[in-house]
Amino acid sequence: MEDKKDSSEFKSLVKQVQKLEKQMKDNLPEIRESIDNIIKGKITSIQIIEKTLDVLLNYVQIGIGVEEFNRLNRYYFTINSENSKQYENYYKEIIEER
């Protein structure tokens, strides 16, 4: 009886993860547009850039948004190389754990 409950809970969890992954993929075009606006507009707001990088680090954990993260972090390097390097380190830690 316990196995059926565990199996049901596991299936429910898998569905939730799949739903979250779909939402993340659906959000990616909007994030790309934000990155385009940041770079084309030469926005230097650390808060805006780091907020976007933080979101992308969450995405990277499941293999989504890697290109977008790297693109924005390269731009961020031109503004704040020290913080950009720290984000690169966070990224590498995530990749190594996957």
Report mean pLDDT in 10-residue bins for the chain, 98 residues: 75 91 95 98 98 97 95 98 98 91
pLDDT at residue number 2? 59
- Angstrom distances, CA of residue 61 to CA of 4, 6, 49, 65, 81: 30, 25, 19, 9, 23
Total of domains in the chain: 1
pTM, two decimal places: 0.85
21 membership: H or E segment, kind and range: helix 2-40
- The DSSP secondary-structure symbol of 42 reads T
Structural domain that includes position 86: 2-97
pLDDT at residue number 52? 98
